[in-house]
Amino acid sequence: MTKLDIITLILYLTTVLYLGLRFRSKNKTHAEFFLAGRNMGFIPIGLSVMVTSFSAINYLAFPNEVFGFGLYVIFAIPVFFIIAWPISKIWMPFFHSMQLTSAYQYLELRFNWQVRSLASALFILWRLIWMATALYAAGNLLAAFTSYKPSTVIIIAGIVATAYTFIGGMRAVMWTDVLQFCVLFGSIALGLLYASKDSSFAEIFTIAAQHGRLKPFTPFDPSYFSLDPRIRMTFFSCIIGVSVAFLSRYGSDQVIMQRYFTAKNLRAAQKGIWLNALASAFAISLLALFGLAIFAHAVKSGALTDINNAAIPKLAKPQFLAMIKSFPSGLTGLFASGLLAASMSSIDSGINACSAAYITDLHPKIFKNQTGTAILDKILTLSLGILSTTLALTLIPLIGKTNTLFMIVNKVINGLGSPLLALFLLGMFSKRVNAPGIFIGTITGLAASMYITFAVKPLALHYYAAVNLLATIIPCYLFSIIASWSGYTPATNKITQTCLFWRKNSKM
Quick one: pLDDT at residue 47? 92
Quick one: pLDDT at residue 25? 60
pLDDT at residue 314 is higher than 50: no
274 and 46 in contact (C-beta within 8 Å)?
yes
Is the model more confident about 308 or about 476? 476
- Encode pLDDT of 376-389 as tens digits: 888 898 999 999 99
Quick one: pLDDT at residue 479? 95
Count how many Cα atoms sit within 13 Å of the Cα of residue 323 in the half-sphere of its side chain: 35
Average pLDDT, the chain: 83
Q: How far apart are CA 41 and CA 172, in angstroms?
A: 14
Quick one: pLDDT at residue 369? 59
60 and 317 in contact (C-beta within 8 Å)?
no
Helix (H) or strand (E) holding 213, with range, is none
Quick one: pLDDT at residue 261? 94
Q: How would residue 311 be classed by pLDDT, with cut points 50, 70 and 90?
A: very low
278 and 285 in contact (C-beta within 8 Å)?
no
Quick one: pLDDT at residue 502? 67
Quick one: pLDDT at residue 507? 44
Q: How would residue 403 be classed by pLDDT, with cut points 50, 70 and 90?
A: very low
- Encode pLDDT of 144-161 as tens digits: 777 778 888 889 889 998
Percentage of the chain exceeding pLDDT 90:
28
Quick one: pLDDT at residue 370? 62
Quick one: pLDDT at residue 392? 86
Say which residues have a Cβ less than 8 Å from residue 415's Cβ, sequence separation at least 6. Answer: 446, 449, 450, 452, 453, 464, 468
Number of Cβ within a 10 Å radius of residue 368: 6
Quick one: pLDDT at residue 180? 86
Q: How would residue 305 be classed by pLDDT, with cut points 50, 70 and 90?
A: low
CA torsion 250-253-258-260 (nearest 10°) is 10
Q: How far apart are CA 444 and CA 451, in angstroms?
A: 11
Is the model more confident about 434 or about 141? 434
Q: How would residue 422 be classed by pLDDT, with cut points 50, 70 and 90?
A: very high
Say which residues have a Cβ less than 8 Å from residue 230's Cβ, sequence separation at least 6. Answer: 458, 459, 460
CATH 1.20.1730.10 fits 3-506, yes or no: yes
- Encode pLDDT of 108-148 as tens digits: 989 999 999 999 999 998 888 888 888 887 787 777 777 77
Quick one: pLDDT at residue 46? 93
- Encode pLDDT of 209-249 as tens digits: 888 888 888 888 888 888 888 887 888 888 888 899 899 99
- Encode pLDDT of 268-300 as tens digits: 999 999 999 999 999 889 888 888 888 887 787
pLDDT at residue 463 is higher than 60: yes
Specify the 3-state DSSP secondary structure of 20: helix
Quick one: pLDDT at residue 406? 47
Quick one: pLDDT at residue 72? 85
Quick one: pLDDT at residue 315? 43
Chain centroid to CA 45: 15
What are the residue boundaries of the structural domains of the chain, listed by start? 3-506
pLDDT at residue 405 is higher than 60: no
- Encode pLDDT of 331-361 as tens digits: 888 888 887 887 888 888 899 999 999 999 9
Q: How far apart are the first and last CA of the chain?
A: 68
- Encode pLDDT of 41-60 as tens digits: 999 999 999 988 877 667 77
Is the model more confident about 491 or about 231? 231
- Encode pLDDT of 168-204 as tens digits: 888 888 998 888 888 888 888 888 888 777 778 888 8
pLDDT at residue 399 is higher than 70: no
pLDDT at residue 71 is higher than 50: yes
Quick one: pLDDT at residue 83? 95
Quick one: pLDDT at residue 188? 81
DSSP 354-389: HHHHIIIIIHHHHTTTPPP-HHHHHHHHHHHHHHHH
Quick one: pLDDT at residue 334? 84
Q: How far apart are CA 37 and CA 170, in angstroms?
A: 9
Quick one: pLDDT at residue 313? 43
**Per DSSP, what are the bridge partners of residue 263?**
40
